């Protein structure tokens, strides 16, 4: 029970985020309207994704310094749960965009490519492609130790290249997405103080949920691979 405090915190924060997110008084903004409530869920997915990818990076570094296969299993599981949250982020974003961006009177939205040429979408697509490539690299190597070492090296290299991507791409393309200059998750010009009271706890809650899911799948894999790990 001692170690479970953060799981309880996660449930409490998410219940608070869902109930509070539906009840809180929102600023009445043009176009956005009530859809702004999606910020608690959509942006939370990205927060969780980045926390999970960062955990994966930390375990990759620890694998290279200690050489314990447990860290390798953890790194790959954090990455796979991170991918799931990335896809969920796309899904919640698509729902949101269909109410705000999709405009039958605007010819710019006739084609998919017009909407897809969006810095935030491209940045995330790059992140997801990197981690898909990570799993392809893993599955192409038979030897367990070699697989762990080479994929840890790629993990670190890719993560270090991911951050320039997220910072560079928005400077090159125009965007409809809020939070154009800087980090969209931490830019709250459009939100009210009341919303911020729910935003931060919601992000922490989603990130904790992601880590929770990942730790369950890591423990499952520890049992599967128990003959190989110390």
Partner 1 sequence: MKSVITLFKKDLLLEIRQQYSFYGILLYMGATIFVLFLAIAEPEKEIWNGLFWVIQLFICINAVAKSFMQESRARMLYFYTVASPVHFMIAKLLFNSLLMLLMTLISLLLFLAFIGNPAEKLLPFTGLALLGGFSLSMVFTFLAAIAAKARQNAAIMAVLGFPLIVPQLMLLMKLSNAAFFAGQSFQWSDILLLIALDFLVGLLSVILFPFLWKD
Decide whether 137 or 176 has the Cβ nearer to partner 1: 137
Residue 177 beta carbon to partner 1: minimum distance, rounded to whole angstroms: 17
Query: Of the two residues 102 and 160, which places its CB atom closer to partner 1 in the complex?
Result: 160
Q: Least distance (Å) from partner 1 to the CB of residue 70? A: 18
Name the region of 182 (left: φ>0; alpha: ψ -120 to 50; beta: rest).
left
Dig out the tokens for 171 from the structure.
Answer: 């400077």
Closest CA to 175 of 103, 105, 101, 91: 101
CB closer to partner 1 out of 37 and 120: 120
Closest CA to 43 of 169, 165, 205: 205
Q: Is 203 left (phi over 0), alpha (psi -120 to 50) or beta?
A: alpha
- Give min distance, CB of 147 to partner 1, in A: 8
Token pair recorded at residue 82: 């991170």
Contact residues: partner 1, CB under 8 A: 64, 122, 126-127, 129-130, 133, 136-137, 140-141, 146, 149-150, 152-154, 156-158, 160-161, 164-165, 168-169, 172
Q: Min. distance of Cβ 15 from partner 1 in angstroms?
A: 37
């Amino acid at each position: 029970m001692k170690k479970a405090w953060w799981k309880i915190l996660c449930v409490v924060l998410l219940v608070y985020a869902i109930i509070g997110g539906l009840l809180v008084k929102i600023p009445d903004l043009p176009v956005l309207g009530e859809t702004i409530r999606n910020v608690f869920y959509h942006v939370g997915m990205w927060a969780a994704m980045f926390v999970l990818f960062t955990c994966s990076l930390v375990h990759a570094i620890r694998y290279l310094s200690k050489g314990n296969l447990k860290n390798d299993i953890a790194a790959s599981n954090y990455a796979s749960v991170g991918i799931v949250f990335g896809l969920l982020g796309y899904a919640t974003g698509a729902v949101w965009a269909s109410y705000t961006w999709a405009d039958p009177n605007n010819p710019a939205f006739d084609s998919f490519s017009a909407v897809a040429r969006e810095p935030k979408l491209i940045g995330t697509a790059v992140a997801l492609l990197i981690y898909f490539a990570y799993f392809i690299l893993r599955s192409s190597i038979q030897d367990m130790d070699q697989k762990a070492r080479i994929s840890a090296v790629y993990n670190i290299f890719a993560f270090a290249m991911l951050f320039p991507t997220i910072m560079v791409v928005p400077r090159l393309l125009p965007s409809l997405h809020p939070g154009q200059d800087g980090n969209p998750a931490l830019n709250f010009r459009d939100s009210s103080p009341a919303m911020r009271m729910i935003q931060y706890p919601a992000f922490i809650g989603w990130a904790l949920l992601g880590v929770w899911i990942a730790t369950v799948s890591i423990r499952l894999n520890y049992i599967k691979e128990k003959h190989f790990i110390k």
